[in-house]
Chains A and B, each alone.
Chain A
Amino acid sequence: MAYLFHTDADRAQMLASIGADSVQQIIDQQVPQDVQLQRSLNLGDAAGELTLESEMRRLAAQNSSASSHACFLGCGAYDHFIPAAVDEIASRGEYYTSYTPYQAEVSQGNLQVMFEYETLITQITGLAVSNASLYDGGSAATEGVLMALASVRNREKVITSEAVHPEYRDILEAYLKNIGATLVTVPVGDNGDSSAIISAIDEQTACVLIQHPNFLGRLEDVTAIADAAHSKGALLVQSFDPISTGLLKRPGDLGADIAVAEGQCLGNPLQYGGPYLGIMACREDLVRRLPGRIAGQTTDRRGNRCWVLTLQTREQHIRREKATSNICSNQTLLALRATVYLSLLGPEGLRETASHCLRKADYAKRRITASDRFDIVHDGPVFKEFVVRDRSDDVDGLLRHAESQGILAGVALGQFDPSMNDCFLVAVTEKRSRDDIDRLAAVLSDAPCRSAVASA
């Protein structure tokens, strides 16, 4: 049956060795009768490989995807190009069917990959230490805040801004609710400057969480916010876009104490949101507060250089009642993919990918606004995402129309902020061709209109 081994002869021999008549007898000796399930689980019949395959192909074909459509969706998950070597390496069973490197001697492959990953993350963040990864960009932002709360004594205030990904802020709120921290969310002014955040920072502030480039693609004045936080004894946690470091100053260079990111963009598939890769790096002096696993270098009894899990509250060794984080895993396979990806790109490849995103986004902006129906909401620089206003205020109809034309045109922003009901967010990666962008602009401008465009 499926993946089972034992033949009737095996079973008979095994039961004889155990000294049991049947497996049912082994169960009855341990599981009280009154809690045993007296029926079969209602999960349908077993399905063979061929049946499952044809079913899944049908089911997969019911979904649109970045394979069937030109994808201009972002919000923290991006359709970047993944070189073939990434898939090839990550599909090796020695990587994907191994487990946590509890036995270093037979896990040197994974441990060295973790160490290389950590090094690469310090290189793209400009910070001294990285862990071996967390669940995703959203929970990593929250873990960064928890880490700051644990590092800065006797302060309970956490400041963030509406320009941080709304889902990240939801996670933060859920985590902070029961632990006596106060969350202050600063609204974003139309001009997008940092004065509101800076004036909210006081002596009670443990940390500030910002995103740069922010949720709407705009650039924040990180250095000014970092200086303001530091002058009041608070820490700065910056959520960043790893691809952007090909062009933009790194979190560490801007004064961030802790940097977090969604690493999906580094060679990992979209997969409807997961599994993803939570990146986290910090200043050297915060290392003992860093959650999650960390691989470090040492030597073995023969003097060979090697790698081990270190500074670790391993699952079995967590300081049970004193933990500030309960994370006892990491996303090794996704970290491996990110490691291979960054090795293939190198400094020039990362710079090139970032500049293609930047310049194609700028081109898309200009093409879309060639139609009177659309405005770009914000002036000022963006990296690979920008907000478009539909002056006929029919974003849902517009996006549905684009879907029917083979384009995933953007994300409706009304779902996050009712005041942005007439806006959508467009993301442009290096994968979008000139033809994709031209078609996007054409489809948007030709879309049927619910109402005539209000005269400007």
Chain B
Amino acid sequence: MFGATSAIAEQVARLYAAKGARIFLAGRQRERLDTIAQDLQVRGASAVSTYGVDFDDVAAFGPMVEACGSPDRTLIAYGTLPDQQGAEGSADLTAKALLTNFTSPAVLLNLLADRLHSGAAVAVITSVAGERGRQSNYVYGAAKGGLSRFLEGLRHRLAPKGIRVIDVRPGFVDTPMTDGMDKKGPLWAKPERVARDIEKALERRDGPIHTPWFWWGIMAIITRVPARIFHKTKL
């Protein structure tokens, strides 16, 4: 689990703990990692190790990937939700958003890819926001969209080796990352729900998935709206 303190990763980890898995948790907040590790241990994980890392520091990835060995299942779940308007006026914010949400996972995936064995599966959380650039969050959307394209290529590369690459595209999920938003309405999903979809995909799927599934339909429409109509919306 890379980004193990993320709400979705934590729920996925619980599903694997219940199956008695050995789990490697990498994340920035040491104390939270320890809390989560204890919890997973109680829930049935046969071993849990933690690794403190700042995912913006891509130079530090070598030893981390070394420490995690050759995982059967990998989830990359870190990311930030940058303030779009802030980023529009700030080179720093834009660069940082792209670093955390695109460059960093891309670097990590390339390092990891060499260590994976046949039958392994990697899931990476991208976003429905990556499927069409929109004025309200195209910096985040571009990073996630770029990551989706990266995964597409990686999948192409690893498929002959029997390694599956899953691009997880959640819609609105009720996690600390989205605490600033109004969470009313039927489109919001709980992280437990999204975690179940991810676990299922890690066990049998390949390619992109939407979670909850209905986002597939929503995005099919949104990506097909002609620009002259799309540009009139505030999306």
A-B interaction: no
